[in-house]
């Protein structure tokens, strides 16, 4: 009987230990299968330019995690499938072919380029890959090709400071400055050398207001760090400057129509995530 009891106790301990081990295995699998992820959405916007259209061909938008090092960061991903791109160390936000008129997305208007689910963590670089089908249309309707330097076949890389949190969505905006990106070569030829910045859409501030008369053809801008952030009011005189960090700003208004005097808004303070609307309409006076 004593021997039988000993065997029974040993068997019970074995079963209990086995159940604990199995439980740990299932727990580990459950943690692995539900690793924290969040979503990154990438949008596009533009600063104003004195053209009728600035059309760019977007082929890829990629993002890289801060600890994901690759041997060759200049390898072209053009034409690759999503799986092959991810093997090269990048995550795919968009991989396709779309042509966009940048001037359709000004004054706070944005175009969503794509979104992807990412492991929670810190991401430090965005890559924007353009095709060769880029064009410029003048106000008179004349169209020109925009030549993209061949050295940029691997795409235009931008530093970001994006923290993806579990269950959250991070909205990033690529601000494409069309006016500075179009470079005149002469002999009716133009180059496209993108001038870009990235903006955390919901963790930065914006300032909006109204400027009249529309005939003044105003340009509105402010200085944020070393960047000039500017726009032109819409047909109702409404403007929006976004992607501003918390702080105090002076806003300058330059009238392109020489019949009107320049003006400004001064000492406007904004907090992180705030959309600040200037209450009083700024009426530009005639000179």
Distance CA 147, CA 135 (A): 8
- Domains in the chain: ranges and CATH: 36-201 (2.60.40), 204-287 (2.60.40.1120)
Q: Are 38 and 168 in contact (CB under 8 A)?
A: yes
Distance CA 207, CA 197 (A): 18
CA angle 161, 166, 169 (to 5 degrees): 60
Burial of 75 from C-beta contacts in 10 A (0-12 / 13-18 / 19+):
middle
pLDDT tens for each residue of the chain, 287 residues long: 444 444 444 454 544 454 444 444 444 444 334 469 999 999 999 987 889 999 999 999 999 987 766 545 666 787 788 888 888 889 999 999 999 999 999 888 899 999 999 999 999 999 999 999 999 999 999 999 999 876 566 789 999 999 999 999 999 999 999 988 999 987 889 999 999 999 998 889 999 999 999 999 999 999 987 778 888 898 899 999 988 999 999 999 999 999 999 999 999 999 999 999 999 999 999 99
Distance CA 155, CA 60 (A): 8
């Amino acid at each position: 009987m004593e021997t039988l009891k000993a065997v029974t106790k040993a068997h019970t301990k074995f079963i209990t230990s086995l159940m604990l081990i199995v439980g740990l295995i299932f727990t580990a699998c459950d943690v692995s299968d539900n690793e924290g992820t969040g979503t990154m959405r990438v949008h596009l916007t533009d600063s104003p330019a004195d053209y009728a259209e600035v059309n760019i061909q977007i082929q890829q938008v990629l993002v890289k995690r801060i600890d994901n090092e690759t041997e060759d960061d200049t390898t072209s991903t053009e034409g690759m499938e999503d799986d092959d791109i991810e093997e090269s160390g990048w995550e795919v936000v968009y991989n396709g072919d779309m042509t966009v008129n940048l001037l359709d997305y000004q004054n706070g208007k944005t175009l969503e380029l794509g979104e992807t689910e990412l492991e929670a963590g810190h991401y430090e670089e965005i890559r924007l890959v353009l095709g060769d089908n880029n064009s410029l249309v003048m106000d008179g309707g004349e169209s020109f090709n925009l030549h993209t330097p061949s050295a940029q076949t691997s795409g235009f890389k931008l530093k970001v400071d994006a923290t993806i949190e579990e269950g959250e969505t991070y909205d990033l905006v690529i601000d494409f400055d069309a006016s500075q990106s179009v470079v005149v070569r002469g002999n009716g030829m133009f180059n496209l050398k993108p001038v870009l910045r990235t903006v955390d859409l919901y963790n930065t501030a914006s300032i909006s207001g109204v400027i009249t008369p529309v005939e003044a053809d105003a340009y509105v801008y402010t200085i944020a760090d070393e960047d000039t952030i500017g726009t032109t009011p819409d047909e109702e005189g409404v403007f929006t400057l976004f992607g501003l960090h918390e702080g105090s700003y002076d806003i300058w208004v330059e009238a392109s129509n020489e019949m009107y005097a320049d003006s400004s808004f001064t000492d406007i303070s904004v907090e992180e995530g705030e959309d600040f609307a200037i209450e009083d309409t700024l009426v530009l006076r005639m000179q």
